[in-house]
């Protein structure tokens, strides 16, 4: 960074004067980005309000990372505009309003973790204390270790600490838990809950659908560079309508089960049957009346079902 950030007014996004009421944290209008014959992002418009936690989902090649690069000013759109708190991305980033954790975010291998964060903190007039940031990221015990000696998962946590050091109002995360084991993933999201509880805005891209389901207020699903779903997890799941009936039924007749009213598909695994239904009530009545099925469970479709329903036919 080439400019020394200034401190925000109380309650304002980091480094920026308090924006007029109603100014979005992120405003994307008609973004299009092409690489030769490939359109990575196709007329994408999106508004994210301050304080929202938004998950950006989509299969490989859907445009998630390209969109994040344009939000951060790392790539210029061929068409369309980006604003962060009403300002160009470069202004917001220069002034410390944005912290980012990217897959390709380079770290200097010969610096220690403490030196890395102290260097980043030196770009800001009022950064968060380095020790506090290391504790939040779970790397306080690594302060004297050289970055090049760390595991991939440990380096991910250093990148998270770098994203926090400016005390930003907006945090952008691109596949933040890649390389982390299950315990480290849980610890990461516990830390993020504490950050979002302070009112920070978060946009994160992930291929872990359970993370989006558990931590996002809102899910934006991309396909071929376009938004194909935008809403709460419950609203997105509703796209994959219907329910699943699972039961124990020895000697089940697949053809007879497929003929039950409201049944779309049948899977049989030993004595277990799984019926995917558009009308589970009708199917269940006939199943109970005409068979000896037991141990019956009826469940709603999940986020993965909706993801597949909306991205079927997607080419990576």
User: Do 223 and 307 contact (CB within 8 A), yes or no?
Assistant: no
Q: Residue 13 half-sphere exposure, CB side, CA atoms within 13 Å?
A: 29
For the residues 11-30, what does the mean pLDDT come to?
Answer: 69
Q: Is the torsion defined by CA of 57, 61, 67, 69 positive or negative? A: positive
Q: What does the DSSP assignment read for 108-175? A: -TTSBHHHHHHHHHTTSSSPPPHHHHHHHHT-GGGTTSBGGGS-HHHHHHHHHHHHHTT--SEEEEES
Could you read off the pLDDT of 88-119 as tens digits, one per residue?
A: 999 998 888 999 998 766 799 999 999 999 99
Cβ atoms within 10 Å, residue 246: 16
**CA dist 126 to 5, 14, 15, 103, 120, Å?**
9, 9, 9, 27, 12
**253-277, pLDDT tens digit by residue?**
999 999 999 998 999 999 999 998 8
pLDDT higher than 60, residue 67: yes
Domain boundaries, the chain: 26-237, 243-300
Provide the pLDDT for residue 313: 52
Model confidence, pTM: 0.77
Model confidence band, residue 218 (pLDDT cutoffs 50, 70, 90): very high
44 vs 33: CA distance, rounded Å? 10
CA nearest to 149, candidates 100, 110, 202: 110
The per-residue pLDDT for 66 is 95
Fold of the domain spanning 243-300 = Alpha-Beta Plaits (3.30.70)
Arithmetic mean of pLDDT over the chain: 88
Question: What is the distance between the alpha carbons of residues 192 and 55, in angstroms, rounded to a whole number?
Answer: 13
Give the tens place of pLDDT for each residue, 145-174: 999 999 988 999 999 999 999 999 999 999
Q: How many residues does this entry show for the chain?
A: 316
Q: How confident is the model at residue 22 (pLDDT cuts 50, 70, 90)?
A: confident
CA–CA separation, 212 vs 233, rounded Å? Answer: 8
CATH superfamily ID and name for 26-237: P-loop containing nucleotide triphosphate hydrolases (3.40.50.300)
Which range among 5-9, 29-33, 102-106 shows the weakest confidence by mean pLDDT? 5-9
Burial, 112: exposed, middle or buried (Cβ in 10 Å; 0-12, 13-18, 19+)? middle
DSSP state letters, 206-226:
-S-HHHHHHH-SEEEEEETTE
DSSP 48-90: E-TT-EEEEE--TTSSHHHHHHHHTTSS--SEEEEEETTB-HH
pLDDT at 15 over 50: no
How far, in Å, are 35, 43, 174 from residue 76 at the CA level? Answer: 12, 14, 18
């Amino acid at each position: 960074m080439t400019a020394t950030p200034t401190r925000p007014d109380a309650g304002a996004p980091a480094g920026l004067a308090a924006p007029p009421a109603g100014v979005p944290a992120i405003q994307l209008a008609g973004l299009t980005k092409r690489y030769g014959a490939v359109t990575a992002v196709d007329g994408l418009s999106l508004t994210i309000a301050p304080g929202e936690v938004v998950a950006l989902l989509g299969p490989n090649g859907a445009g998630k990372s390209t969109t994040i690069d344009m939000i951060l000013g790392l790539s210029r759109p061929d068409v369309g505009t980006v604003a962060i708190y009403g300002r160009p991305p470069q202004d917001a980033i220069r002034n410390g309003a944005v912290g980012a954790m990217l897959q390709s975010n380079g770290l200097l291998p010969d610096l220690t973790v403490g030196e890395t964060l102290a260097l980043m903190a030196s770009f800001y007039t009022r950064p968060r204390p380095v020790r506090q940031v290391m504790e939040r990221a779970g790397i306080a015990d690594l302060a004297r270790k050289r970055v090049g000696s760390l595991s991939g998962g440990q380096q991910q946590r250093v990148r998270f600490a770098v994203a926090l050091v400016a005390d930003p109002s907006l945090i952008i995360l691109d596949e933040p838990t890649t390389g982390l084991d299950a315990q480290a993933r849980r610890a990461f999201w516990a830390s993020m809950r504490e950050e979002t509880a302070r009112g920070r805005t978060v946009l994160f891209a992930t291929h872990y659908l359970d993370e989006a389901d558990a931590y996002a207020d809102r899910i934006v699903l991309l396909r071929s560079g376009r938004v194909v779903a935008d809403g709460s997890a419950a609203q997105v799941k509703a796209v994959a309508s219907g329910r699943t009936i699972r039961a124990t039924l020895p000697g089940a007749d697949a053809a007879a089960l497929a003929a039950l009213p409201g049944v779309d598909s049948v899977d049989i695994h030993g004595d277990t049957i799984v019926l995917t239904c558009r009308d589970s009530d009708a199917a269940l009545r006939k199943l109970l009346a005409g068979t000896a099925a037991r141990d019956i469970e009826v469940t709603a479709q999940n986020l993965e079902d909706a993801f597949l329903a909306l991205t079927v036919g997607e080419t990576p």
